[in-house]
């Protein structure tokens, strides 16, 4: 996430023109012609308005929608609760329309109680996507205090012997101390809280968690396991498995996206070359994978058995696109920016932006949540929108 540079009202069509034409000399697709066609971009303001009009309810954060437009609503304790207010903050930054800012404040307030929830590792997803974005816009000291309190709570899940933050508390009959690749994303909260509070421990926990994950989560081809379970007494690895991928040795697409984003972000705070190198290795795995579709939107798992007849995951693509922009900033290697632009061109097309008048508070379709449980398959999901909007903002800020 980038430091706020002020708000200038620009119609959404012009914003997106600036974004995608910024590197037309290096891109492999015809982004300018695509945008000038207007067929996709004209839908953005409509889709944004559905987020604004969704009724406020403290226990009904919109998480996803099924094929019939039925919205899955969740309370603040759900790991996805922060993405909807985060998207509203991002739309405000894109449009300077204060209605989105005000609505973001209302939704964000409902998440405050999560700062004391020590039963989850998802503090970053919930609190930083909401209060973190809000703080960078409003500079409200109350928001900062909530972020610090949340970091304090999250740090209670850290185990010095293992060198990691515990991810999940369920499935105790099988796992002792499970750590998932997704947990890399929650380190941003700790790094920021360390700056806000001048408490070095938050930084140290985040850095060590990233080191432990780097050591144990990755295969020789730089793909990632989803879950690594540790022995709480010895700190040794008990097993490496999956919970949301096709199999324990498969490459679950969103897991690879979390890893890319997580190590790029970790480099931002630590300037550790080993973190940057890992991000580059993951990027290479993704860019050159022989099962990546032509439009660069991955199937839900790179090893799913029925490719090409498998669901895509637009959420994984959006996370990758956002991370690749930041990776480009640190390396100035144009292949990362070109790959991000290719993804964003695809996601901005009518194939992935919701085209009809279905009144759901989402922008993108074709995301896959949890395939093994047949849950949230091939539909809109809140975190896809969040990282899609973040990628638009990051691309804009390159100019």
Phi then psi dihedrals of residue 342, to 5 deg? -65, -45
The answer to whether the beta carbons of residues 311 and 377 sit under 8 Å apart is yes
Q: Enumerate residues 6+ apart whose C-beta is below 8 A from 288.
A: none
The answer to whether the beta carbons of residues 165 and 154 sit under 8 Å apart is yes
The residue behind tokens 């090893």 is: 303
CB atoms within 10 A of CB 153: 18
Which contiguous run of DSSP H or E holds residue 123?
A: helix 123-123
3-state secondary structure of 316: helix
Active site residues: 122, 182
Half-sphere exposure of 30 (CA within 13 A, CB side): 4
Phi then psi dihedrals of residue 221, to 5 deg? -90, 5
Q: Which residues are bridge partners to 158 per DSSP?
A: 165
Distances (CA, A) of 272 to 190, 202, 210: 16, 17, 11
The answer to whether the beta carbons of residues 229 and 241 sit under 8 Å apart is yes
Q: Is the peptide bond before 289 cis (omega within 30 degrees of 0)?
A: no
Q: Which residues are bridge partners to 64 per DSSP?
A: 72, 381
Q: Where are the alpha helices (DSSP H) in 162-199?
A: 187-197
Q: Which residues are bridge partners to 364 per DSSP?
A: 353
């Amino acid at each position: 996430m980038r430091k706020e540079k002020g708000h200038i009202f620009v119609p959404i069509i012009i914003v997106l023109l600036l974004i995608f034409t910024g590197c037309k000399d290096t891109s492999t697709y015809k982004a300018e012609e695509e945008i000038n066609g207007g067929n996709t971009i004209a839908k953005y303001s409509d889709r944004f308005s559905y987020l604004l009009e969704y009724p406020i309810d403290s226990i009904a954060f919109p998480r996803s929608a099924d094929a019939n437009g039925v919205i899955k609503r969740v309370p603040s304790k759900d790991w996805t609760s922060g993405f909807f207010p985060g998207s509203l903050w991002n739309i405000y930054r894109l449009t300077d329309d204060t209605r989105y800012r005000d609505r973001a404040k209302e939704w964000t307030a409902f998440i405050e109680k999560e700062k004391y929830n020590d039963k989850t590792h998802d503090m970053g997803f919930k609190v930083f996507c909401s209060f973190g974005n809000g703080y960078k816009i409003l500079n409200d000291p109350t928001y900062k205090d909530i972020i610090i309190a949340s970091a304090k709570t999250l740090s209670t899940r850290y185990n010095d012997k293992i060198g990691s933050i515990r991810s999940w508390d369920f499935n105790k009959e099988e796992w002792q101390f499970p750590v998932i690749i997704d947990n890399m994303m929650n380190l941003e909260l700790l790094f920021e809280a360390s700056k806000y509070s001048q408490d070095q421990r938050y930084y140290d926990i985040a850095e060590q968690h990233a080191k432990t994950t780097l050591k144990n989560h990755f295969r020789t081809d730089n793909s990632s396991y989803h879950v690594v379970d540790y022995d709480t007494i010895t700190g040794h690895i008990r097993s490496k498995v999956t919970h949301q991928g096709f199999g324990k040795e498969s490459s679950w697409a969103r897991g690879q996206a979390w890893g890319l984003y997580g190590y790029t972000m970790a480099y931002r705070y630590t300037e550790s070359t080993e973190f940057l190198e890992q991000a580059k290795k993951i990027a290479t795995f993704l860019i050159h994978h022989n099962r990546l579709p032509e439009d660069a939107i991955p199937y839900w798992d790179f090893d799913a058995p029925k490719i090409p007849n498998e669901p895509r995951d637009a959420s994984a693509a959006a996370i990758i696109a956002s991370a690749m922009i930041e990776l480009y900033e640190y390396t100035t290697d144009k292949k990362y920016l070109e790959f991000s632009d290719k993804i964003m061109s695809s996601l901005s097309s009518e194939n992935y932006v919701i085209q009809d008048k279905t009144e759901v508070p989402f922008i993108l379709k074709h995301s896959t949540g949890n395939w093994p449980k047949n849950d949230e398959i091939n539909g809109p999901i809140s975190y896809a929108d969040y990282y899609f909007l973040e990628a638009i903002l990051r691309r804009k800020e390159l100019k």
